[in-house]
Structure 1
């Protein structure tokens, strides 16, 4: 059994390394090692049977020196204080890597949304907004969808905030439905961005993406669109690892490549891909140990790659689409195996960048086409990749360390200019 990884401690080690490598004084580490603000709230919800149940919610804002805080909120039974703190810290550095004017935030409610009716979920969402409304807003903190939250939940969140203010405030949240001020291309943006990272990684490693075999863990929003865009770029998606409430973890495998468009249609019709007919079902343990895989993309929850499965991995490169999918112990194991890891704060930054575009459109009340969004998104991600890869080469550090060096240098320069140090 893999030991529990504290996400805050994991990020703190990366911050400490980067500050020392950059020759920054201890004050910078002191300012970045913990969030600026953490709010813990109790949310009473009237259930369908008339009883009142109380849920615990969180909102962490890590560092707002670069701009308003930005980050999703999730509904999951494992949501806890250290998780949202660690994720808020990752968001700060993700925004700084791509150079958008945000700091990091994260939130969540400890619950199992599968056990809640639609009405209960709406009341929970509106209650969560009321509990944290003093710390969010277009100029303060802009939440977004995350695990088990979606455009509908963002619509309820925005509506409740707007009612409290007495006027319409679409910019309080991103990931909204298009009709309520959402952005074209936002839903697909993280997967689109991961695919840009895959293309750049293939170029860097002298690999031909059109001949690449890819295994992806997760077929939620990020994993599904990563699968789709990678396949459209000629890669073969030979395996997808997933979870189903009836059988737990499993993976689909087809050595000739899965038909991703058919997989989309199948999931839309059945709500799951567990019985998809054009693939063999294998265990998740076998998924991690697959032979002849060029690229492995973890696109589910944090700590998916750990000291137990890292020794089995035979992929040539790993591109992180989830937040924090690789534990520090697994990082060391994979480094010894010579498997480069292109890190999450670089590779999955397409989502927050497109969220930034949505926020900008809300502030302007002027909206762009999907083509305009993608045309603005791709060069930002390419420049970020080049910055990180150059830092990696010039300083002889891992790609993950290089991403933190790029991000923390930008934040430190900002702190100095503003006289905070």
Structure 2
């Protein structure tokens, strides 16, 4: 039987409620944070290479602007839907506040299978989307970025289209982040999310009295996030014993050579057939013996259908919303430490923030400076969540949400978005 709360927007609303209840926060805070401020649906006509026209549906959701402009990626995927985008925008709000970034959350998406489009059709779609949402984005309003199936090239097309719409010969790079380094991008942005997951995995291992050196690590998903998570975990001393993608699961108890696998993936667009590992069904990834498991694919990966198979002591959520509430309850009963997505995969938005700052000031940092700044921010965020977890005797997800909600409630109160009798005359 399917779980009742598989809808990602229902899941995030439940998470907000639990954290607000634990904090004893004003009911108005829960209500405001449970819904996005703005939901835009667009229909984008695209001329196909064969001369026909297709209409693609897309969304842009802005969740909360109390702390500053909104920030969040754009995904191209056939399963994009309005509730998913609303959930992702909400998660992004909490992610930004956990990391103490001056943003609220946003998200965008288009219902499309990008593999079915030519490069020119993809460009027309990207430009059409940028044109459709241009009225609600801007460098001080809402700053999109890449997400699933989008990349620096897609962002470059969108920057160009947006700049053309604004006219007078301007190029406005700060409106989009995740751009190529050669086009006002940030060194370290491509690696940022996976690097952050590995940093958080290292910090989480310490809570379980484990050292990263020799820790058995398994990764679900081998896209940008999963591959860099595995690579940096290996560099930190972990033994990456299992990796899966959409086609297969590879296992090697002695440890996979992640950089060699990344090269193979780039050449073959799949990990299937890689010669230096045993290949099994992709869903077998959940059964592998490991200390740390990093789901780095899509939402609802860990459910009641597979939660009994998981053997890890630590789960570090590289994907957004990979664990359903029912599955999480089972894991917590077993003493598994779950590092939530809004902390674990916040490296991407953190370095997007660095890119935005550099674009605004036209001053750029080295790769080493970016990674040092990212590590410092992520370690500090991890420590603050652990302190809240211990102080309130709650799990790590609830602790992260509690920190984020505290950091959201204050500016909302100061803006006068709700009244609770806290104002006193001087």
TM interval, shorter chain, is: over 0.9
CA deviations on 1:109-151 (whole Å, 9 max, x unpaired) are 0011011000000000000011110001101111111000011
Secondary structure of 2:315's counterpart equals strand
Pair 1:138-2:127 in alignment: no
Out of 281, 285, 288, the position equivalent to 2:286 is 288
Partner residue in 2 for 1:386: 383
Q: Taking structure 2 as the reference length, what is the TM-score of the superposition? A: 0.96
Cα deviation, residue 13, structure 1: 1.0
Out of 245, 256, 262, the position equivalent to 1:242 is 245
Deviates more, 1:374-383 or 1:352-361: 374-383
Partner residue in 1 for 2:180: 177
Secondary structure of 2:229's counterpart equals helix
Partner residue in 1 for 2:423: none
8 A Cα contact 1:76 1:148, kept in partner:
yes
8 A Cα contact 1:237 1:257, kept in partner:
yes
Secondary structure of 1:147's counterpart equals coil
Pair 1:197-2:200 in alignment: yes
8 A Cα contact 2:245 2:270, kept in partner:
no
Cα deviation, residue 415, structure 1: 1.4
Structure 1, unpaired ranges of 5+: 245-249
CA deviations on 1:210-245 (whole Å, 9 max, x unpaired) are 02000100110000001110000110000001113x
Paired residues for 1:59-78 under 5 Å: 59-78=60-79
Secondary structure of 2:327's counterpart equals helix
8 A Cα contact 1:2 1:306, kept in partner:
no
Over aligned residue pairs, what C-alpha RMSD do you find?
A: 1.0
Partner residue in 2 for 1:247: none
Partner residue in 2 for 1:342: 339
Cα deviation, residue 396, structure 1: 0.9
Pair 1:376-2:373 in alignment: yes
**Separation in 1, partners of 2:249, 2:211:** 25
**Separation in 2, partners of 1:356, 1:286:** 37
CA deviations on 1:382-406 (whole Å, 9 max, x unpaired) are 1100111111111111111011001
| Cα distance change, pair 251–2 in 1 and its aligned pair in 2 (3 A) | farther
Partner residue in 2 for 1:94: 95
Pair 1:321-2:324 in alignment: no
Cα deviation, residue 179, structure 1: 1.2
**Separation in 1, partners of 2:84, 2:73:** 12
Pair 1:214-2:211 in alignment: no
Secondary structure of 2:138's counterpart equals coil
Cα deviation, residue 286, structure 1: 2.4
8 A Cα contact 1:212 1:294, kept in partner:
yes
8 A Cα contact 2:101 2:353, kept in partner:
yes
Secondary structure of 2:363's counterpart equals coil
Deviates more, 1:280-289 or 1:398-407: 280-289
Structure 1 stretches of at least 4 aligned residues deviating more than 2 Å after TM superposition? 1-4, 417-421
8 A Cα contact 2:246 2:282, kept in partner:
no
Give the length in aligned residue pairs.
415
